[in-house]
């Protein structure tokens, strides 16, 4: 198929010349003021465009940079350029490609490049363009930060002492693994809490100045001097047991840049002594230790439902002592929220009658009147083979209820983000059925949530769009990952939109694909801008004809095609007669209009396969593929006819508009420069004959 001027998509109609000029100025301002470097280069590597940021980054002026070859003068390793071009040939885009560039003074900088290839209708690369960011300092800082972080973690995690980092308000910011091992608490159970909540201190400490841990901490904060405390017992509790330990402790102020940022606590544990003490305690009262130190509340009632015993966890949960409860029935002790009393009585009676027990939830009212959600289980209690009552176990589920509320809040928050995201978000199950469809998807696809939920995702892919949308359908149906895929999609109303689509598989805990999620972003406006920018690059904005840059690109392809096919390639050189005099007499505004009208006359005289170019000033070239010398006169006569009609109908000039024409043919694409010189020579001979005829 012969080359032709690229058609603009329906959603991206080319703007008027005035809008293009305005858009061009705004675009240039935007490019020149970016902090990142912007460039455009030919496929061969010659720099066509560069902004000040890129020139400054490389130590050149913009004018110097425009004379450079990227591969030879800028890339430190030419193989980086080759690898970049290979990636562009496959994907069309390269994102954040790390490489090294050479500055004018020879220094090497680390950069990240995001680039793309711009093609014509035939799929050939017109030019490459990209954004370059200098990441030299950032990479250096990242390496230094990683080094010191790794050094710190290796040092702190491998010492034999426990290490605690406290903020100035006493909140725990960090503990090492030694603290976890010795406290039987996970880091997440400690970090974020006040130290006195994790390790409640005894009434007094064996120290000459500081009687409490808090006093020692406050002294370090106030004096900015370290404090060393002798061995003393610290009591703390974990979810399974109450443990008493002893250790030597040293508090050191953390001063950074002259500012007190916190306190570092070093702890030396006496683990062997503690282990022996624990063994003694376990051997003395194994059963009582299990019951008393259980995290669950445990109690027993007799066959009438009256309390016989309770453990410490029950006392803590209810705020009542065992002495105050003995002999009082469970449902009459004021322990149960009124709306749960009948449920508790029913469960007790059912259990006594031999019914299988089940877990149920109630709310316990503690001594302060606070409601404590609890999960209750029970079983019959036998002594010497006779039924003596019921053993009850209660679990404080405040944390679980809190987590459930937080989970619900998080789910609602995520649902709000999902619903209100500007991008379209779609989720499918393993069968390709739509299970998620947010408002962004409704807006982009103009299909309602009710229309799509429960429907096959195939509904999104009409048959007339099946081929180019096939990767998206495969990703959603099969959970195949893909990112930043640009596609066209036709809405139900026929309007064409451009989308950037990324798809991720949804997997279960075993890694099996259970569906897919897709994010679709409407990039129609960006595409419009790209088309407008491409139009600016290849078009003369005054005459709306192709410019010399486009002619050079097109000529290379046409010569190659002519050589392959053996067909002739002809060229017509056209110059406006007396254009300088028109400018001098009527002014440049009239001169501009003459150029525009001349371009319109020439364009309407050509075939679809011909290409009109404003070659410079008032000179135009017409490239005629598959056209020999015998066919050129037909084109010239059409031009003369259109020009004659224009002169008869237009009146803004008081003189006739005329062209000087020269023609030449290049056989089989050989020596086109000679043919162009011949056409120019004939055109000037034509112009001279006219000038001589007027002067005689």
Give catalytic residue positions: 618
- Residue bearing tokens 């570092």: 264
Phi, psi values for residue 193, rounded to 5°: -95, 160
DSSP-assigned states of every residue in 305-333: SBEEEE-HHHHHHHS--HHHHTTSBGGGT
- Two tokens, residue 189: 């159970």
* Among candidate residues 601, 619, 599, the one with its CA nearest the CA of residue 662: 619
How far is it, in rounded angstroms, from Cα 379 to Cα 388? Answer: 11
Is the Cβ–Cβ distance between 320 and 335 less than 8 Å? yes
CB neighbour list of residue 695: distance below 8 Å, 6 or more residues apart: none
- What letter would DSSP give residue 56? H
Four-point Cα dihedral 392, 397, 398, 402, nearest 10: -170
Identify any residues that bridge with 164 across adjacent strands, giving them in sequence order. 175, 265
Helix axes 588-603, 579-586, angle to 10 degrees: 140
Identify any residues that bridge with 393 across adjacent strands, giving them in sequence order. 298, 377
Report CA-CA distances (Å) from 194 to 81, 168, 240, 268.
56, 11, 21, 20
* Cα 617 to chain centroid, rounded: 47
E strands, 145-258, in order:
162-166, 172-175, 227-237, 242-256
How far is it, in rounded angstroms, from Cα 265 to Cα 161? Answer: 10
CB neighbour list of residue 114: distance below 8 Å, 6 or more residues apart: 93, 94, 95, 96, 97, 130, 131
Q: How many helices (H) and strands (E) does the chain have?
A: 24, 26
Q: Helix, strand, coil proportions of the chain in percent (round to 5)?
A: 45, 30, 25
Report CA-CA distances (Å) from 339 to 335, 472, 696.
12, 55, 120
């Amino acid at each position: 198929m012969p080359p032709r001027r690229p058609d603009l998509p329906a959603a991206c109609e080319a703007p008027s010349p005035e809008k293009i000029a305005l858009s061009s100025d705004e675009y240039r301002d935007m490019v020149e003021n970016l902090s990142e470097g912007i460039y455009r280069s030919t496929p061969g590597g010659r720099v066509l465009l560069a902004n000040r940021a890129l020139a400054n980054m490389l130590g050149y002026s913009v004018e110097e940079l425009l004379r450079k070859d990227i591969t030879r003068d800028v890339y430190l390793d030419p193989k980086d350029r080759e690898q970049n071009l290979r990636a562009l040939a496959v994907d069309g885009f390269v994102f954040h490609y790390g490489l090294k560039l050479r500055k004018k003074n020879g220094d090497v900088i680390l950069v990240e490049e995001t680039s793309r290839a711009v093609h014509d209708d035939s799929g050939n690369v017109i030019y490459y363009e990209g954004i370059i960011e200098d990441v030299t300092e950032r990479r250096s800082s990242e390496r230094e930060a990683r080094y010191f972080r790794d050094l710190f973690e290796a040092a702190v995690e491998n010492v034999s002492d426990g290490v605690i980092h406290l903020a100035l308000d006493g909140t725990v910011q960090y503990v090492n693994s030694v603290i976890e091992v010795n406290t039987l608490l996970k880091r997440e159970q400690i970090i974020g809490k006040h130290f006195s909540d994790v390790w409640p201190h005894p009434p007094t400490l064996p120290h000459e100045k500081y009687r409490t841990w808090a006093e020692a901490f406050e002294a370090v904060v106030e004096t900015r001097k370290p404090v060393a405390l002798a061995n003393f017992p610290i009591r703390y509790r974990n979810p399974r047991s109450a443990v008493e330990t002893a250790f030597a402790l040293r508090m050191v102020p953390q001063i950074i840049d002259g500012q007190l940022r916190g306190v570092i606590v070093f702890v030396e544990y006496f683990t062997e002594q503690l282990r022996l003490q624990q063994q003694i305690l376990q051997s003395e009262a194994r059963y009582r230790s299990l019951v008393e130190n259980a995290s669950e509340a445990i109690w027993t009632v007799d066959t009438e439902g009256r309390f016989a015993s309770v453990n410490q966890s029950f006392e803590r949960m209810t705020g009542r002592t065992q002495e105050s409860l003995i002999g009082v029935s469970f449902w009459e002790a004021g322990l149960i929220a009124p709306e749960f009393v009948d449920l508790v009585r029913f469960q007790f009676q059912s259990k006594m009658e031999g019914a299988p027990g089940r877990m149920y939830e109630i709310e316990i009212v503690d001594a302060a009147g606070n409601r404590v959600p609890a999960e209750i289980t029970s079983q019959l209690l036998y002594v010497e083979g006779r039924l003596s009552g019921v053993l009850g176990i209660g679990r404080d589920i405040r944390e679980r209820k809190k987590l459930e509320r937080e989970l619900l809040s998080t789910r609602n928050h995520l649902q709000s983000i999902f619903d209100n995201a500007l991008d379209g978000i779609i989720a499918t199950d393993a069968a390709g059925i739509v299970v998620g469809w947010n408002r962004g998807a409704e807006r982009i696809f103009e299909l309602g949530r009710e229309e799509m939920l429960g429907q096959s995702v195939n509904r999104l892919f009409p048959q007339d769009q099946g081929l180019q949308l096939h990767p998206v359908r495969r990703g959603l149906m099969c959970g195949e990952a893909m990112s930043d895929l640009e596609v066209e999609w036709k809405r139900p109303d026929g309007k064409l939109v451009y989308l950037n689509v990324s798809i991720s598989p949804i997997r279960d805990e075993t890694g099996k694909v259970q569906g897919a999620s897709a994010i679709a972003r409407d990039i129609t406006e960006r595409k419009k801008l790209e088309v407008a920018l491409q139009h600016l690059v290849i078009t003369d904005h005054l005459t709306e004809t192709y410019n010399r840059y486009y002619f050079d690109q097109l000529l290379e392809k046409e010569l190659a095609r002519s050589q392959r096919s053996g067909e002739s390639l002809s060229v017509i050189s056209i110059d406006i007669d007396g254009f300088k005099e028109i400018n001098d007499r009527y002014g440049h505004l009239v001169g501009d209009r003459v150029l525009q009208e001349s371009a319109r006359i020439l364009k309407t005289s050509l075939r679809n396969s011909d290409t009109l170019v404003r070659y410079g000033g008032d000179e135009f070239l017409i490239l005629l593929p598959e056209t020999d010398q015998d066919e050129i006169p037909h084109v010239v006569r059409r031009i003369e006819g259109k020009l004659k009609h224009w002169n008869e109908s237009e009146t803004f000039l008081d003189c006739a508009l005329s062209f000087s024409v020269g023609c030449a043919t290049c056989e089989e694409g050989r020596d086109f420069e000679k043919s162009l010189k011949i056409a120019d020579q004939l055109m000037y001979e034509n112009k001279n004959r006219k000038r001589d005829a007027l002067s005689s």
